[in-house]
Chain A
Amino acid sequence: MNPFRYERANDAQGAVATLARETNGAFLGGGTNLVDLMKLGVATPELLVDVARLPYDDIEELPGGGVRIGAAVKNSVLAANPLIRKRYPLLSRALLSGASGQLRNLATTGGNLLQRTRCLYFQDVTKPCNKRRPGSGCPAREGYHRNLAILGASEHCIATHPSDMAVAMIALDALVRVEGPSGERTIPLTEFYRLPGDTPQRDTVLEHGELITAVDVPALPFATRSTYEKVRDRASYAFALVSVAAALDVEGGTVRDVRLALGGVAHRPWRATRAEDVLRGAPANAETFAHAADAELAAAQPLRDNAFKVTLAKRVIARALTDLAERAQ
């Protein structure tokens, strides 16, 4: 691990100002991903600004029925919060599907959003990787990629975003609140993550020194009937091959409204807007669900070893929607 200086921030403005002065620095939350990447030599910050104890550890109700989640709230605490479990069960389930009890106790909301891809080539400094060393190439295209992207990838990068939590949050139209060197701003999560294009080194639209302070989840009454389904190589404690976050509002056998997002398939948590468009106003039946899944996956460009994900994604979408529709009866 490269040597680094450590500073503990007293407030957000101080944290932002401290990091803004050091171009090769990083905020430290729970450290579950960053410290690991530092051990691997993938991340080499010369300054860590510890923001884990800033006063952003509350989960509070917003006027209108939404919830504000502080950036320092631990993943385990968020998953167990009564408001989240009752209003947004898909978010609770997404969190509980990720990592382990030990890791969820360290990992923060802000850090979860900013975790890096688990693509093997990104994590191995002896290999080329356009995300880690721009311009060095992407061996994953020809190499090991059964876990990698089928949607929105580029010739430069086929990494997937590893977060489960973010998939549920993007389905819920969450907003990311940020404090930065030039003040505060709020970024819809749907616009927070980037597709790789020819600059895969950038995962998000955040600028250097910008600090996530909270995530706002708007009210969505029908999210009380929602779920998160995840398919992986083992029963627990593994990243998704495909995951689906879904909330479904059915009345009289017709889909009145829906939120749908996919994980494990793209460089960012994938909001399934094409499928949502097919679903709204259509009969809540197997035919509609299959049609919606086909519409979303029509743009898929799988590689040699991950074409199975296209079929898998369609089936997990159909299963999640079918389960939710049955619960509506």
Chain B
Amino acid sequence: MDVEITLRINGSARTLSVDTRTTLLDALRERLDLTGSKKGCDHGQCGACTVLIDGRRANSCLALAIAHQDAEITTIEGLADGERLHPMQASFIEHDAFQCGYCTPGQICSAVAMLREVEQGWPSWVTDDVAADRVTLDDDEIRERMSGNLCRCAAYANIVPAIAQVAAT
């Protein structure tokens, strides 16, 4: 059944009529011409659909559009500052951190939000002491924290240093 909803995406309010079943991913791709977010598995298992909801990374394929009307949503299209790439985008290019590129928007959105989690001191499964105030972001930490983003081309060997470089600056 159709309902009118308003989504706030990359700083703009967009009003549209959707079926209640519409996921945020389908609203972005099929209705709002924001095709940067990709549909891989459509079951929350691959991370290709990752967007930022109120600054936090989330799988847009499992988020119902109607349930996220009061959130600030950022997609890969909203990361760059005009023609100036986001540092994570630039680092992925510099490190050749992709092959086919299908998972890349999700990888980049995920990595941007992941670094904020690290800044806030969030521990991970591989953090030795979860009670410690600070996290040392080594390669094992990056791999664990990025495990929700699969790369079928297995560009991980370049994705990890691409992220590490941004983390170090």
Contact = CB atoms under 8 A, between A and B. Distances in A.
Interface stretch (A84-92, A183-191, A273-281): A84-92
A263 to B, nearest CB: 14
Given A79-B123, A80-B120, A80-B123, A35 B23 contact: yes
A105 B64 contact: no
Contact of B110 (A6, A31, A86, A101): A101
A103 B64 contact: no
Interface in A81-102: 85-86, 89, 92-93, 96-97, 99-102
Contact of B147 (A38, A105, A236): A236
A120 interface: no
Which size bracket describes the interface of A in this complex? 35 or more
Nearest to B52: A105
Contact of B64 (A3, A31, A102): A31
B50 to A, nearest CB: 6
A4 interface: yes
B54 to A, nearest CB: 9
A92 B143 contact: no
Interface in B57-72: 57-59, 62-64, 66-67, 70
A53 B147 CA distance: 28
B130 A28 contact: no
B43 interface: yes
A52 interface: yes
A3 B117 contact: no
B44 interface: yes
Given A76-B56, A76-B122, A92-B130, A101 B148 contact: yes
A85 B59 contact: no
Most chain B CB within a 10 A radius of its CB, from A3, A80, A99, A102 = A102
Interface in B32-64: 42-44, 47, 50, 53, 56-59, 62-64
A76 B148 CA distance: 14
Contact of B63 (A5, A48, A97, A106): A106
A92 B132 CA distance: 12
Interface in A23-45: 28, 31-32, 35-36, 38-39
A1 B57 contact: no
Contacts of A5: 1, 20
Contacts of A179: none
Contacts of A101: 57, 110, 113-114, 117, 145-146, 148
A88 to B, nearest CB: 10
B23 A6 contact: no
11 contacts: A3-B20, A6-B3, A6-B20, A32-B44, A35-B62, A86-B131, A92-B123, A93-B130, A100-B47, A105-B58, A237-B148
Interface of B: 1, 3, 19-21, 23, 42-44, 47, 50, 53, 56-59, 62-64, 66-67, 70, 110, 113-114, 117, 120-125, 127, 130-131, 143-149
CB-CB nearest 6 A-B residue pairs: A100-B148, A236-B147, A80-B122, A237-B147, A96-B125, A105-B56
